[in-house]
Amino acid sequence: MAKLIECIPNFSEGRDEKIIQGLVSIAKSIQGVTLLDYSSDASHNRSVFTLVGDENGIQEVAFQLVKYASEHIDMTKHQGEHPRMGATDVVPFVPIKDATTAECVEISKKVAKKINDELNIPIFLYEESASNPSRTNLAKVRKGQFEGMPEKLLEEEWVPDFGERKIHPTAGVTAVGARMPLVAFNVNLDTDNIDIANKIAKIVRGSGGGFKYCKGIGVMLEDRNIAQVSMNMVNFEGTPLYRAFETIRFEAKRFGVNIIGSEVIGLTPAKALIDCAEYYLQIEEFDYGKQILENHLLN
Amino acid sequence: MAKLIECIPNFSEGRDEKIIQGLVSIAKSIQGVTLLDYSSDASHNRSVFTLVGDENGIQEVAFQLVKYASEHIDMTKHQGEHPRMGATDVVPFVPIKDATTAECVEISKKVAKKINDELNIPIFLYEESASNPSRTNLAKVRKGQFEGMPEKLLEEEWVPDFGERKIHPTAGVTAVGARMPLVAFNVNLDTDNIDIANKIAKIVRGSGGGFKYCKGIGVMLEDRNIAQVSMNMVNFEGTPLYRAFETIRFEAKRFGVNIIGSEVIGLTPAKALIDCAEYYLQIEEFDYGKQILENHLLN
């Protein structure tokens, strides 16, 4: 069966419907690629596309979209709330089926090289593709934004992974990389005290000494008057959802607080939830690839 | 997106490799249909095919397979351990994606009519397609087997749903129907007492007063010296796996017995397990169709 890879490019245009539709046309025109979703935000002035495709199709569509963006988006005129450094700001590749993160790293490097060779846009590799640890975090890579990039590229530690040490005059700089699928998973507590949610978030998240692949903060759900531990599970195989959930459950007890529900936001790979069913039902020797009927139907 | 329907025809031939490969060739030749699996058992002298396809393809492949079986399998010479009444013994249709049981009932009736019209094989509709409650259970429909069918068809209550009251001379009688996907789910106990497993099985299964869509028996796993509650979950939406599992857990306590693991045998629809993750993680307002990434990739 064909490998299936997801790509979620972010473009610095969320207002001009003509340009957005131009990107949509390209996204739909490449053989072996499906446009799952796209959304634009006018205040961020940014659009996010979600595509899946085979190994070749996903590389082709990523390149063609970056090319179109570089020809139609002028960063010297861009304004918007969301941090950004390029017409195409970031291009992550994610393994979905029969593909590994290592393969997505290879793909990200091939696409990065082609973008630079043919479009002359300097590239930072980030996340799993990063050439050194200070480049794994996108926020650090993007710091300074479009306006600060000409200077940043001249700093010793910010030589681009591909390209010369100067920005593309209108398309800026693009980050390309591989990462695991991300699951947005929030756990609701029966308290209106956000401090408790913040304390628990700190316990479960990697940066607080908790689970390596979990990011989290406390959030107040004003309409329900309850506090929530809002998490990004950035590698659900390394840190499964149930492990964060059960940890929140027993840590909340210290405060006399209980879990009253949870939310999964947006798209999630089936395996992130099936892994949880496997845990709770104590299923022995389950073979996800072979035993899930739908896995035999994907391409 | 296209509807996806599964068909699992059972043929009364598990020894003659030439005939089995003839069926395989047909299974692979129909546009819009994928042969997921097939297995043959020599002592049962029987083969089971697992196919999925769109609405039209699945009807065509079912008919063509029944036709081939009627031309190549002679029931007057058939011997095998498994109960059987026709060259094609049974043809169930199962809704997999964007299809309902009601639609599969319609499909089963169309295929049944065509088989009778063109091949002159009498048909019993069974399970969800049954014309009366005494025909829902396949074991009852098949009782008497191939050898007893000529007489059975003359009984008042066993007039075929399609065709005359006499068997096809070599292909016998075929049962056609619609059913929900079946999940084979076994729960292992920390006891070597099969009586306890039998008592619990009786509690959870519909026929014992338990869950309507659960069938179950106690089984001894000789190699591990433990008893098991072995279940067929015949409608995992009507009776979710977690509900049977948690009921076994609390009923086992009466005997001082604990669950030590479980097994899912063979193929299962992703939703049967994701429904369990939803329960245990207390996910609020999860939309299976929209939020599972893979659901956007199927055809």
Q: Among A48, A22, A52, which Cα is nearest to A36's?
A: A52
Q: State whether A53 and A169 are in the same domain.
A: yes
Active site (annotated) includes residue B72: no
Q: What is the pLDDT of residues B59-94, one digit of tens each?
A: 999 999 999 999 999 999 999 888 999 999 999 999
A271 vs A94: CA distance, rounded Å: 14
Q: What is the pLDDT of residue B299?
A: 47
Question: How many Å separate Cα B165 from the centre of its chain?
Answer: 26
Distance from CA of B96 to the nearest CA of A (A): 9
Same domain, B26 and B174: yes
Q: What is the mean pLDDT of chain B?
A: 95
Give residues with Cβ within 8 angstroms of A71, minimum separation 6. none
CA A254 to chain centre: 33
Span B183-222, pLDDT tens digits: 999 999 999 999 999 999 999 999 889 999 999 999 999 8
Give the pLDDT score at B1.
Answer: 52
* DSSP label at residue B129: T
The residues that bridge with B7 in the sheet, in sequence order, are B51, B93
Burial (CB count <10 Å: 0-12, 13-18, 19+), residue A87? buried
CB contacts of B285 in chain A (<8 Å) are 263
How far is B18 from B22, CA to CA, in rounded Å? 6
Considering A139, A162, A178, which residue would you say is the last residue of a domain? A178
Q: Do B269 and A293 touch (CB under 8 A)?
A: yes
> Are the beta carbons of A265 and B291 closer than 8 angstroms?
no
- What's the rounded Cα separation, in Å, for the pair A269 and A292? 13
For residues A157 and A190, membership in a common domain is answered with: no
Tens place of pLDDT per residue across chain A (299 aa): 578 899 999 999 999 999 999 999 999 999 999 999 899 989 889 999 999 999 999 999 999 999 999 999 999 999 988 899 999 999 999 998 889 999 999 999 999 999 999 999 999 999 999 999 999 989 899 999 999 999 999 999 999 999 999 999 999 999 999 999 999 999 999 999 999 999 999 999 998 899 999 999 999 998 999 999 999 999 999 999 999 999 999 999 999 999 999 999 888 999 999 999 999 999 999 999 889 998 877 64
Q: Supply the pTM of this predicted model.
A: 0.81
State residue B297's pLDDT score.
77
Q: Are residues B51 and B142 in the same domain?
A: yes
DSSP string across A33-80: EEEEEEEEETTTTEEEEEEEE-HHHHHHHHHHHHHHHHHH--GGG---
pLDDT of residue A1: 52
Q: Are A227 and A148 in contact (CB under 8 A)?
A: no
Q: Is A109 helix (H, G, I), strand (E, B) or coil?
A: helix
Closest alpha carbon to A7 in A68, A42, A67, A48: A48
> B48 with B173, same domain?
yes
Do B156 and B192 sit in the same domain of this protein?
no
Q: Which of B267, B273, B291 sits opposite A266 (nearest CB)?
A: B291
Domain identity same for A42 and A159: yes
Q: Give the DSSP letter of residue A17.
A: H
Co-location of B123 and B193 in the same domain: no
Tokens (6 digits) for B201: 């099985």
Beta bridge partners of B183: B233
Residue B195 and residue B163 share a domain: no
From the candidates A38, A297, A299, which should be mutated to test the interface with B, based on the most B CB atoms within 10 A?
A297
Residue contacts between A and B (CB atoms, under 8 Å) = 138
- B151 and B289 in a single domain? The answer is no
Q: How far apart are CA A14 and CA A81, in angstroms?
A: 11
CATH code for the domain of A44: 3.30.990.10
- Close Cβ partners of A254 (under 8 Å, ≥ 6 residues apart): none
> Across-strand partners of B97?
B4
Domain range for residue B220? 183-296
pLDDT for B198 equals: 97
| Amino acid at site B195 | D
d(CA B100, CA B121): 27
pLDDT for B71 equals: 98
Query: What span, in angstroms and rounded, lies between the C-alpha atoms of B80 and B83?
Result: 8
Collapsing DSSP to helix, strand or coil, B122 comes out as coil
pLDDT at A299: 47
**DSSP state letters, A190-223:** S-S-HHHHHHHHHHHBGGGTSBTTEEEEEEEETT
Give the closest of A259, A264, A277 to B291, CB-based: A264
CA dihedral B112, B117, B119, B124 (to 10 degrees): 30
Distance CA A4, CA A30 (A): 15
- Other Cβ atoms within 10 Å of A74 Cβ, number: 15
Q: Cα dihedral sign for B102, B106, B112, B116?
A: positive
CATH of the domain at A195: 3.30.70.670
Last residue of a domain, one of A145, A178, A211: A178
For B123-153, the pLDDT digits (tens) are 999 999 999 999 998 989 999 999 999 999 9
The number of beta carbons lying within 10 Å of the beta carbon of residue A67 is 18
Number of domains into which chain B is organized: 2
Residue A66 and residue A71: Cα distance in Å, rounded?
9
Tell me the residues of A at the B interface, defined by beta carbons under 8 Å apart. Answer: 4, 6, 34, 36-37, 52, 96-97, 181, 188, 241-242, 245, 259-264, 266-270, 273-274, 276-278, 280-286, 291-294, 296-299
CB contact under 8 A, A294 and B298: yes
- What ranges in chain B are assigned the alpha helix state H? 17-29, 55-72, 101-119, 138-142, 145-152, 194-204, 241-253, 270-280, 288-291
Cβ(B123)–Cβ(B162) below 8 Å = yes
Chain A residues whose CB is inside 8 A of the B261 CB are: 282-284
Q: Which residues contact B249 (CB under 8 A, 6 or more apart)?
A: B258, B259
Mean pLDDT calculated for residue range B175-179: 97
Residue B298: pLDDT band (50, 70, 90) is: low
Confidence at residue B294, expressed as pLDDT on a 0 to 100 scale: 86
Q: Give the pLDDT of residue B97.
A: 84
Contact yes or no for A139/A83 (Cβ under 8 A): yes
Rounded to a whole number of angstroms, the distance from the CA of B271 to the nearest CA of chain A is 9
Q: Is A27 within 8 Å of A51 (Cβ atoms)?
A: yes
If asked whether residues B76 and B212 sit together in one domain, one would say no
Confidence check on the interface: ipTM exceeds 0.85, yes or no: no
Residue B133, both tokens: 């409650």
- Residue B25, C-beta contacts closer than 8 angstroms, at least 6 positions apart: none
A32 and A125 housed in the same domain = yes
Question: Which of A146, A163, A178 corresponds to the end of one domain?
Answer: A178
Report DSSP letters for B191-226, one per residue. -S-HHHHHHHHHHHBGGGTSBTTEEEEEEEETTTTE
Q: CB–CB of A31/A54 below 8 Å? A: no
